[in-house]
Amino acid sequence: MDTKLYIKELVEKGREAQNKFESFSQERVDEIVREIGKVIYDRAEELARMAVEETGMGVYEDKILKNKGKSKLIWNNLRNKKSVGIIDEDKEKALIMIAKPKGVVAAVTPCTNPIVTPMCNSMFALKGRNSIIVAPHPRAKKCAKYIVELFNKAIVKLGAPENLIQVIEEPSIESTSELMNVVDVVVATGGMGMVKSAYSSGKPAYGVGAGNVQCIIDRDIDIKEASKKIIEGRIFDNGIICSGEQSIIAHEKEYDSIIKEFENQGAYYIEDEETVDKFRQVLFPDGRINGKIVGQSVRVIAELAKVEVSENIRVIILKPRGIGKEDVLCKEKMCPVMVAFKYKTLEEALDIAQTNLNLEGKGHSCAIHSNNMDNIKEAGNKLTVSRLVVNQPSSTSAGGGLYNGFAPTTTLGCGSWGNNSISENLDYKHLINVSRVGYIRDNVKVPTDLEIWNK
């Protein structure tokens, strides 16, 4: 196959579809965007099963929840937003804002999230009257091909142009790279190599950095409730989500009682260095994450480490040798395994979290369980993260929810800390151009130079 010719044809088809779609009204655009989310919502069980079977990662029941949850959250967030024509008018500044498409969007999607990431990217792209071409991970190509077929079958009935959503059916590094070079904008969700390639494509790009969510437990909280939320976050979909909790940072005076509560709720806490090292070698052979453990269960990981664990264990908690570069276990672990640390002061807790972030995950997210607003603000001020999740399971909240103000998404920007172009959750607004019409403001009192420079 001639890769360049194949990609050229996809982009030409996408551009033709986008040119037609650009004339659609807000009402028609929203009707089509809604249908994309509804396809995933209505087929949540089927698509969850397909994702687990093709990728060999995650938990079927959790993927159902993810399919239903993300589809409804994203649509709920998009349905009342203007993205066609005049979207805002600021009379005080004498400005009119007019939304316009960016064109053809390339969406590079991961095997860790093979259903909702293509859905999310498609909803955002079409909300802005763009067309989109999905470049899936080879390990999730069947899922991508199938859902794109479902999308098109559903939206064509609503009058959407043919080829508004396309997919590279036999993805490769070569085809994905070529696609990124010739579209109008790139959204890359996946490994850092692919994200770096997206930023090197010469096209506007939105990529994400690695996660490594540090979780601080303050002294004024309900330990039972906090432990429950942290475990829920860590084990969701076998810990495959980038915003999942990676560590427990607890005050030294409550450390033992906190660990005991985690054990009461199904954690297996390991201090013995010989046993900890068995997990270390399995999780990070040669210092890099082992692909065989990503999205796998406690049982599978324990078997690989040759460590016996009882059937009721939900998460493994390891005591590391130190923080940051002192132990590879301080990196992101995309499975139901955590590490635990003690701190004496909030300053030390923040230092532990930041040191681990400096090793991996800088710019992504942190979590804190606290009722002390001063401490929460201090953490928000000191930590180099784009989002601080407070008193919630980070894995299922950092990407937006009904109970917080984060924009619902599957793509979480990490700012310049993570070599990303945005430090917020990717949204439809990142996939539109805005023309600003400025006219002369009436009745403006123009300050003198003296007034401008006067302290």
Active site residues: 242
Short-list 371, 392, 383, CA closest to 245: 392
- In the β-sheet with 363-369, what is the strand arrangement from edge to edge? 267-270, 315-318, 337-343, 247-251, 214-217, 363-369, 385-390
Residues 6+ apart with CB under 8 A from 336: 234, 235, 238, 239, 297, 298, 301, 314, 315, 316
